[in-house]
């Protein structure tokens, strides 16, 4: 299956994407939608190849900064 089909049909890894749509650039490079399992925003881009990706902020209490954790699977599943 091609990346265009995966994006357009909202096919995630263990979840579906509700209302998948081309991002603000409207150039088919960044897509967003809503995870069918947890309701969070999910993303797909030319950088992630074929995967819809969840992203969440993770705080490092020891060092006092936050980083983004990304996953091809829903964090709640």
**pLDDT tens digits for range 9-56:** 999 999 999 999 999 889 989 999 999 999 999 999 888 878 899 988
Query: In this predicted structure, what is the pLDDT of residue 57?
Result: 86
Query: In this predicted structure, what is the pLDDT of residue 39?
Result: 93
Query: In this predicted structure, what is the pLDDT of residue 52?
Result: 94
Dist. CA 69–CA 4, nearest whole Å: 25
Dist. CA 75–CA 39, nearest whole Å: 11
Dist. CA 24–CA 19, nearest whole Å: 14
Return the number of other C-beta atoms located less than 10 Å from residue 45's C-beta.
17
């Amino acid at each position: 299956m091609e990346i265009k089909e995966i994006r357009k049909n909202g096919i995630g890894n263990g979840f579906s994407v509700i209302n998948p749509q081309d991002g603000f650039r409207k150039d088919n490079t960044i897509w967003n939608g809503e995870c069918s399992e947890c309701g969070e925003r999910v993303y797909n881009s030319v950088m992630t190849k074929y995967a819809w990706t969840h992203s969440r902020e993770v705080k490092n209490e020891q060092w006092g900064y936050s980083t983004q954790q990304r996953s091809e699977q829903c964090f709640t599943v």
